[in-house]
Structure 1
Amino acid sequence: MSRVLIVGAGPTGSLCAALLRREKKDAVKITVWDKARGAGGRMSTYRPPDPSCHSADLGAQYVSVSPSYAQSHSSVYAELQSCGVLRPLDALIQGSQHRDSRDFVCPQGMSAISRHYLSQAGADLCFENHVTALYRSGASWEVHRKLGRSQSFDAVVLTMPVPQILQLEGDLEEMLSVQQREQLDGVVYSSRFALALFFGPDVSLSFPWVARYVSDNPCICYIALDSSKRNAVEPGCGPSLVVHTSVPFGLQHLEEDKEDVEPIILQELHRLLPGLPRPISIKCQKWRYSQVLTPVPDTPGQMTVHTEPLLVCGGDGFSHSNLDGCVESALSVLEVLKASL
């Protein structure tokens, strides 16, 4: 039985795990590690400690599907809709530029996409497992992590952001060709901050939109009444409001502590929405690697670093920064795994 480690429980890693299970059945042992506390990656959903508050999507806000991907990935969207993971977004998103796309929301939060596929994968799933190094050991990979003993695998799939792949210690660096290293060094991500405000059940927020793109503010570029955007009813829970900063603002404050940046964002938010009630709690998230601005050239979906034992890299850095990019990458990685295992 081949032992496969997938690093990253975001959309690419979770879909890859599910597809591999469907393809290989019981002929493969799949392990998924992620350094976060839960699934989703940059499509994560945060649930505040207070049970009277609605959860909030801190990363990706909704899924936009172009006509071409709606056709080529029709089985993906049919499955996610039939399971209730995706639902058409029918409310107004003010300032949206997706004229020809069809938009979907996740009533249970964006992380539900990854959670759905992980439930199908039959994988040994471990969170708060931060991979630090990869060493070749005969016909396998010895994978080190911050906490816990190292483990050996016959194949390793890396789906985290490209800069985090390049930070891994061990034998990866010397196995990259000059061209591969140049391609990985050329991948560029935007950076931003996200802020979620959680209100009590006695608070009612009403706007003419469920989400709004802001074009004339140096700090904030997007605001969403998250509970209304998802059209999700959590009985006894108050609304949640999500704010994303602009890319220039994120770059300007990237090296600052998020606790120091939070008051700046709040000040701008109150200028945009005067009279906003006082929240019960606030969650600030710094996305150092938010969206891919420049992927690997020609967007191959994956990069095979070594064949025996197999080491392959995937994720939106090898395609493009949306769910369809993650699907494309997962499909590309699957083909490599099928040919190798």
Structure 2
Amino acid sequence: MARVLIVGAGLTGSLCACLLRRELQSKVRVAVWDKARGAGGRMSTSRPPPEASSHSADLGAQYITATPAYAQSHHSFYTELLSAGVLQPLDCPIEGLRQRDGSTDYVTPRGTGSLVKHFLSQSGSHAPFPPATSLLVWIEFHLLVSLSSGADVFLEHHVTALYRRGASWEVERKSGGSETFDAVVLTMPVPQILQLQGDLGNLLSVQQKQQLDAVRFSSRFALALFFPPGAVFSFSWAAKYVSDSSCIRYIAVDDRKRGADTSACGPALVVHTSVPFGEEHLEQDKEDVQPIILQELHRLLPDLPQPVSIKCQKWRYSQVLTSVPDCPGHMTVLEQPPLVCGGDAFCHSNFDGCVESALSVLGALKASLANQPGS
């Protein structure tokens, strides 16, 4: 049984784990490592602190748009997610959203993080309890995953280096220690891939290095404002794109957007800044940027009630502006032992881009594993 490590528990990584489990089943043992305290990546759903009895909030991706072409080619994925209740059609208008012929918009009633958790659960994942993670969050995640043999999800596992050891890879962690795997898939943002120590830099061809160096991401900040039960907003929209602010680009009442019932908890408001604002303030601490965003928010919404709690998120790698040329879906750094890179930077920055990349990684990995000695 080949040991496969997937670095990154975002959408591409969780899809890779799920597809490997479905396609190869007992032939591989899959581990998923992520440096964060929770799975999801940019498909991130944030819970309010204990003192705020509020609705959860999506700080990353807000909704999913399926073009007619992808609705057809990825029909099985959409059908699965709709049947499982992970996706539902977006039934509220978003002000300022440009209309796209034939496209369908979907939201996640349990938050965008539920997409990642769904695919991890389908990989037969078992998630060890990270010390710094709250018991409530871990229990909720554990209830969503199967305990059968399959992928093991390890949070707070920050990969720092890769070393080729004959027919295997030795993977080092920031916290110390290392483990050996027969194949490695890197799904984190490209700049983080390029920061890895060890043998990766020597294995990349000149062309591959140039392609990875050319990848560009937008940056932005996101705020989640959690309100007490009974809080009332003076506006009726669920979400809107803002055109008269250099700071704020998008605002959403998260529960309205998802069609969620907040009778037992308060609403949550999500604010995304513009890309120019994010780039201008990128190197500042988010604690220093938060008051600037709040000041602009109160200019736009002067009657906003007082929140119970506020969370600020800096997305250094928000969306892909320049992807790897020709969008190949993956990049094979080494065929034996397999080392493959994937993610939206190798396709495009949305749900279907991550699906395309995961399918591409799966094809490359199946071919490489089939050619390994003893296969």
Tell me which interval the TM-score lies in, with the shorter structure as reference length.
Answer: over 0.9
Q: How does 1:138-217 map to 2 (within 5 A)?
A: 138-217=166-245
Give the secondary structure class of the aligned counterpart of 1:248.
helix
Given that 1:142 and 1:152 are in contact with CA atoms closer than 8 Å, whether structure 2 keeps it comes out as yes
Instruction: Quote the residue 1:56 is aligned against.
Output: 57
1:287 aligns with 2:348: no
Q: Distance in 2 between matches of 1:193 and 1:54?
A: 20
TM-score when scaled to structure 2? 0.90
Please report how far the alpha carbon of residue 234 of structure 1 lies from its aligned counterpart in structure 2 after TM superposition: 4.9
TM-score when scaled to structure 1? 0.98
Q: Distance in 1 between matches of 2:117 and 2:24?
A: 20
Please report how far the alpha carbon of residue 149 of structure 1 lies from its aligned counterpart in structure 2 after TM superposition: 1.8
**Letter paired with 1:88:** P
Instruction: Quote the residue 1:26 is aligned against.
Output: 26
Please report how far the alpha carbon of residue 64 of structure 1 lies from its aligned counterpart in structure 2 after TM superposition: 0.7
Instruction: Quote the residue 1:4 is aligned against.
Output: 4
1:16 aligns with 2:44: no
Please report how far the alpha carbon of residue 235 of structure 1 lies from its aligned counterpart in structure 2 after TM superposition: 5.0
Q: Distance in 2 between matches of 1:186 and 1:116?
A: 33
Q: Distance in 1 between matches of 2:180 and 2:309?
A: 42
Deviates more, 1:48-57 or 1:186-195: 48-57
Instruction: Quote the residue 1:114 is aligned against.
Output: 116
Percent identity among equivalent residues?
70
Q: How does 1:190-339 map to 2 (within 5 A)?
A: 190-339=218-367
Given that 2:232 and 2:305 are in contact with CA atoms closer than 8 Å, whether structure 1 keeps it comes out as no
Instruction: Quote the residue 2:105 is aligned against.
Output: 103
Given that 1:9 and 1:32 are in contact with CA atoms closer than 8 Å, whether structure 2 keeps it comes out as yes
Give the secondary structure class of the aligned counterpart of 2:270.
strand
Q: What's the CA shift string for 1:115-144, capped at 9, x where partnerless?
A: 000001121111111110000011100000
Instruction: Quote the residue 2:132 is aligned against.
Output: none
Please report how far the alpha carbon of residue 205 of structure 1 lies from its aligned counterpart in structure 2 after TM superposition: 2.4
Please report how far the alpha carbon of residue 206 of structure 1 lies from its aligned counterpart in structure 2 after TM superposition: 4.9
**Letter paired with 1:263:** P
Q: Distance in 2 between matches of 1:97 and 1:166?
A: 35
Please report how far the alpha carbon of residue 282 of structure 1 lies from its aligned counterpart in structure 2 after TM superposition: 0.2
Q: What's the CA shift string for 1:170-223, capped at 9, x where partnerless?
A: 000000000000000000000000001000112122523210001120000000
* Unmatched 5+ stretches in structure 2: 125-150, 370-375
**Letter paired with 2:311:** K
Q: Distance in 2 between matches of 1:161 and 1:217?
A: 29
**Letter paired with 1:56:** A
Give the secondary structure class of the aligned counterpart of 1:156.
strand
Q: Distance in 1 between matches of 2:234 and 2:154?
A: 40
Given that 1:64 and 1:98 are in contact with CA atoms closer than 8 Å, whether structure 2 keeps it comes out as no
Instruction: Quote the residue 2:146 is aligned against.
Output: none
1:65 aligns with 2:93: no
**Letter paired with 2:42:** R
Give the secondary structure class of the aligned counterpart of 2:224.
strand
Please report how far the alpha carbon of residue 146 of structure 1 lies from its aligned counterpart in structure 2 after TM superposition: 1.0
Give the 4+ runs in structure 1 shifted more than 4 A: none
Given that 1:44 and 1:111 are in contact with CA atoms closer than 8 Å, whether structure 2 keeps it comes out as yes
Q: Distance in 1 between matches of 2:12 and 2:343?
A: 6
Q: What's the CA shift string for 1:26-45, capped at 9, x where partnerless?
A: 11100000111111111100
Given that 1:301 and 1:319 are in contact with CA atoms closer than 8 Å, whether structure 2 keeps it comes out as yes
Given that 2:39 and 2:116 are in contact with CA atoms closer than 8 Å, whether structure 1 keeps it comes out as yes
* Unmatched 5+ stretches in structure 1: none
Given that 1:204 and 1:238 are in contact with CA atoms closer than 8 Å, whether structure 2 keeps it comes out as no
Q: Distance in 2 between matches of 1:134 and 1:281?
A: 40
Please report how far the alpha carbon of residue 98 of structure 1 lies from its aligned counterpart in structure 2 after TM superposition: 3.9
Q: Distance in 2 between matches of 1:37 and 1:56?
A: 17
Q: What's the CA shift string for 1:65-115, capped at 9, x where partnerless?
A: 111100110000000000000000010100001422210000110011110
Q: Distance in 2 between matches of 1:201 and 1:48?
A: 13
Q: How does 1:79-98 map to 2 (within 5 A)?
A: 79-98=80-99
Q: Distance in 2 between matches of 1:142 and 1:98?
A: 49
Deviates more, 1:293-302 or 1:205-214: 205-214
* Residue-pair matches, total: 341
Give the secondary structure class of the aligned counterpart of 2:153.
strand
1:38 aligns with 2:38: yes
User: RMSD between aligned alpha carbons?
Assistant: 0.9
